[in-house]
Amino acid sequence: MIVRILIFFGFAFALSLFLTLNFFTVNAMTGNIEAGKIRYAKNCVNCHGPAGMGLASYPKISGLEIAYIIDRLETYRAGIEIGPNSALMIMMAQPLSDVEIANLAAYLNAQNTK
Ligand code: HEC
């Protein structure tokens, strides 16, 4: 019973943290495409391919909505799983700053790969 209560509060806390982060980014930031491109080339490209076009089992992430990309990266950064391979993305998103996330979102949104 105690464990259940603790899990519930842990979840509520994670959710409120996530909502707060969301609120600030949506209100405060417009990313820089050039800076996003440089950050993307550092390691994102290894899995998601050139310009986010997708590679093998790694999803295509080019051309997605800015708000969607920010939301995903913040969710991973908070350690919350989305799909079956979230562990990989959680590891990648944890070092990202709010500014880096905004820049990456601006860059990826501007890419048009088929
Ligand atoms: C080690 C391989 C790997 C690296 C490096 C990587 N990703 Fe990912 N990414 C994945 C996988 C796998 C998924 C799907 C995860 C899941 O199942 O939830 C994913 C999902 C995503 C998604 C969500 C896609 C969607 O359609 O919801 C975004 C956005 C994303 N990655 C951006 C990035 C960015 C930006 C970087 C660089 C900071 C990065 N990734 C680095 C493997 C990687």
Taking only the tens place, the pLDDT of each residue in 83-112 is 999 999 999 999 999 999 999 999 999 999
Q: What's the pLDDT at 27?
A: 45
Residue 42 clears pLDDT 80, i.e. is over it: yes
Q: What's the pLDDT at 34?
A: 97
Q: What's the pLDDT at 16?
A: 73
Candidate of 38, 42, 47, 109 to mutate for ligand 1, largest count of ligand atoms within 8 Å of Cβ: 47
Compare 25 and 61 and report the one with higher pLDDT. 61
Mean pLDDT of all residues belonging to the chain: 89
CA of 48 from ligand 1 middle (Å) equals 7
**In the predicted model, what is the mean pLDDT of residues 55-71?**
97
**Radius of gyration for the alpha carbons in the chain, expressed in angstroms and rounded:** 15
Q: Is the dihedral of CA 72, 96, 49, 67 positive or negative?
A: positive
- Pick among 3.30.930.10, 1.10.510.10, 3.65.10.10, 1.10.760.10: CATH of 2-110: 1.10.760.10
For 1-114, list the strands marked E by DSSP.
none
Can you tell me the distance from the alpha carbon of 25 to that of 44, in angstroms, rounded to the nearest whole number?
Answer: 21
